[in-house]
Amino acid sequence: MLFAITFGGFQPLTAIQPGNWPPPLAGLKPLKGVGLARNLQPNNTSVLANSASLAAILGRLDDAESTANKALELNPDMHTAPGYLAIISILRGEPAVALERADAIKLEYLKRVVLAIAHHDLGNTDESNRTLESFIKEHADRWACYIAWVYAWRKDNDSAFEWLRRAVDENQDIDTMKTDVLLQNLHEDPRWKALLTELGLADAQVAAIDI
């Protein structure tokens, strides 16, 4: 039997009907493939990393952590899993753990984001600002969306949307914007839905795509 990932864990694919994905995945029908791939390739580290990311999006942080750890056990050199583990710690309200896990992050942009957020949550405002400012100075022309992550987590919505706008206008990487967990504080802001609609990523627009 084929399975897909949902809030309740792995459920039969036949139980998941188009248009019935739980938020924040409503309309993202292609994500069914993650659950299918994991069922077919349980030791594929790329599939495991994607499964960990999806579990985090769904708020299933224990599942996300165990899956990311399994991916690392199979491939200690993989780039994405250490970042997922650090972000999971942030989502759990464990910034000190996130700082420790940041040492293992090989992706520079993600490491800077984790450090800026973790220091902010620990009350280390100056260190958080220094980290963010250096990130902006060195990488604003490439990683504007990730700068927005930091501002969104700080609940500085105006700055977050300014950086998302820059990412869009400069055709920077926004591939995962709709489901980025560190942008969740923006979801109730009317500018969020407007931006998704502009990009063709609003739930109704994505659900209407025939795949």
Q: Where are the domains of the chain?
A: 140-211
If phi over 0 gives left and psi between -120 and 50 gives alpha, with beta otherwise, what is residue 19? left
pTM for the whole structure: 0.79
Find the angle CA(63)-CA(151)-CA(67) to the nearest 5 degrees. Answer: 10
Residue with the larger pLDDT of the pair 179 and 91:
91
Mean pLDDT, the chain, whole residue set: 82
Q: Looking at the predicted structure, is the pLDDT value of residue 34 above 50?
A: no
What is the pLDDT at residue 99?
Answer: 97
Residue with the larger pLDDT of the pair 148 and 26:
148
What is the pLDDT at residue 94?
Answer: 98
Unique residue bearing structure tokens 């620990």: 122
What is the pLDDT at residue 54?
Answer: 84
Backbone angles phi, psi at 79, to 5 degrees: -85, -35
Mean pLDDT throughout 72-99? 94
What is the pLDDT at residue 42?
Answer: 60
- Report pLDDT digits (tens) over 103-156: 999 999 999 999 999 999 999 999 999 999 999 999 999 999 999 999 999 999
What is the pLDDT at residue 21?
Answer: 37
Percent of the chain topping pLDDT 70: 79
- Report pLDDT digits (tens) over 180-203: 999 999 999 999 999 999 999 888
Confidence grade of residue 41 (pLDDT, cut at 50, 70, 90): low
If phi over 0 gives left and psi between -120 and 50 gives alpha, with beta otherwise, what is residue 123? left
CA distance 56 to 37: 17
Length, in residues, of the chain: 211
What is the pLDDT at residue 3?
Answer: 30
CA distance 154 to 6: 28
Q: Looking at the predicted structure, is the pLDDT value of residue 82 above 60?
A: yes
